[in-house]
Amino acid sequence: MLPLLVACVTPVADLPAQSDETLWTDARAVLDVNCARCHTAGGQAPSFDDAATASSMAASMVAAVDAGRMPPPAPETSCAPYENSDTFTLDDAEIATLRAWADAGAPTGAAVADPPPVTAQSAPFDAELYGGQPYTPSFGADGNDYRCFLLPVGNEDAVFLTGMEALVDALPIVHHVVLFETSGTTGIPSDVEDPTQGFACSGLGAGGWEFLGAWAPGANPVIFPEGTGMKLARNAQLILQMHYFDSFEGADQLSDQSGYGVHLADSVERRVEQYPIGPTSFTIPAGDSAYVVDDSIPAGDPGLEVLGVWPHMHVLGAGFDERVVHSDGSESCLLHQDGWNFHNQVFAKLSTPLRLQTGDSLSVSCTYDNSASNPQQPKDPPEDVPFGEETGNEMCFGFTYVVDAE
């Protein structure tokens, strides 16, 4: 169900009269929590930073919220409670606040400073690792450019990654970022002299690279629970894979030097692993408005706990579902969302880790709308769309973080 109708039943009339100052201060707070991660200067959506611009858009903000377009569809909290769900959707009180401000003519008081630029949310880091130099993408005919950078961590002993946050530089051209770990020169072409300076790479990464984490528009940092982390090798070598995409006039003029901020610990009590769950071979038929693909893996080591899921599809996604299927046929919901917006791919971190039992499996299914009536449909007329990393292809993954049994 889209949260369309909730907005209409809020009794705004009962609110006490408020000063312009209060109306604006309250509205600003709602925008900062729920909208600013995308609607900011240099971001992917029109900036609300400037008070006058925010005011001029007040009516369309309320309309977009009422219609369920904004904020974009996110994991539903009726499936499972998530630690970070306050930024997923607006609650009734937040909607009432925006509406009261808009109805009063969207005043802007002098007292509210423009929000600080959106910066790293989980800083300070133990290390900030960047590509060796700014890079100006050279887009192929299909608009894609994949560039990888070797990021040496410089740790003399094994270390544990307890959290990570992409530090994205040129937001408008970055389609997604993946962080891998490699060992030695695995996956690095032999003619590359200095891989820290960047090299051409495949969208699928390379055999032997281990997926650690990823970023796509709207993503938030991945921070593992106290006392847990992913093991990195001695002198760990990370690979930053940048996927640049040319989507507007002038994109080829921008340069980028993105990186990752990492949180590290010498030891942890329990290890985190990441399972990429999803089918890697499918074709979505042209014209099908509800095509479902799925995959599941056995995950029955008793004591394993699921920490959270990072769902990933491209633009034709229409719904995502991941659940634990127990041996008696019952299910526990891990992530469910009706609706999908490529610009909103959040890591849904469970408030309480979910403990797996013997015989459980983890099951992912993705629904795609490849019809002409999908507003996100890039092709006219629709074409068959195969699995693949390119923007014009589709993927279906639940990147699932699991922590070892105690």
The reply on whether position 343 binds ligand HEC by CB under 6 A is yes
User: Which two three-digit tokens encode residue 163?
Assistant: 């959290």
Chain-centroid distance of CA 52 in Å reads: 29
Exactly one of 61, 100, 230, 239 binds ligand HEC (CB under 6 A); that residue is 61
User: Quick check: 270 binds ligand HEC (CB under 6 A)?
Assistant: no
44 sits near ligand HEC (criterion: CB under 6 A): yes
Q: Which is nearer to ligand HEC, 344 or 370 (CB)?
A: 344
Contact 127, 120 (CB under 8 A): no
Q: Does residue number 75 form part of the binding site for ligand HEC (CB under 6 A)?
A: no
**Which of 309, 310, 280 lies closest to 393, judged by CA?**
280
Pick 137 or 218: Cβ nearer ligand HEC: 218
Token pair recorded at residue 72: 């974009």
Q: Which two tokens stand for residue 298?
A: 């056995």
- For residue 400, the number of C-alpha atoms closer than 13 Å in the C-beta half-sphere is 28
Q: 263: burial class by Cβ within 10 Å (0-12, 13-18, 19+)?
A: buried
> Which of 318, 314, 309, 312 has its CA nearest to residue 362?
309
d(CA 129, CA 239): 10
Q: Choose the binding region for ligand HEC from 32-40, 298-306, 316-324, 395-403 (rule: CB under 6 A).
A: 32-40
Q: CA 175, CA 158: separation in Å to the nearest integer? A: 32
Contacts 24+ apart (CB under 8 A), 16-23: 18/100, 18/104, 19/109, 20/104, 20/107, 20/108, 20/109, 21/107, 21/109, 21/111, 23/100, 23/101, 23/104, 23/107
CB closer to ligand HEC out of 74 and 230:
74
Return the closest-CA partner of residue 242 out of 319, 166, 174: 174
The single residue listed with the structure tokens 């560039």 is 147
- 349 touches ligand HEC by CB under 6 A: no
For residue 94, the minimal CB distance to ligand HEC (Å) is: 8
> Which residue, 62 or 309, has its beta carbon nearer to ligand HEC?
62
Site size for ligand HEC (CB under 6 A):
20
Which segment (13-21, 61-69, 294-302, 379-387) binds ligand HEC by CB under 6 A? Answer: 61-69
Instruction: Tell me which stretch binds ligand HEC (CB under 6 A): 4-12, 33-41, 111-119, 285-293.
Output: 33-41
Read off the tokens for 104.
């009063």
Residue 118 near ligand HEC by CB under 6 A: no
| The binder of ligand HEC chosen from 29, 45, 118, 354 (CB under 6 A) | 45
* Cα atoms in the 13 Å half-sphere on the side-chain side of 201: 29
Per CB under 6 A, 38 contacts ligand HEC: yes
Site mask, ligand HEC, residues 286-325, x = CB under 6 A?
----------------------------------------
- Which one of 29, 64, 206, 325 is in contact with ligand HEC (CB under 6 A)? 64
Indicate which single residue of 23, 51, 54, 70 sits in contact with ligand HEC (rule: CB under 6 A): 70
Residues of this chain that interact with ligand HEC (CB under 6 A) are 34-35, 37-39, 44-45, 57, 60-61, 64-65, 69-72, 90, 218, 343-344
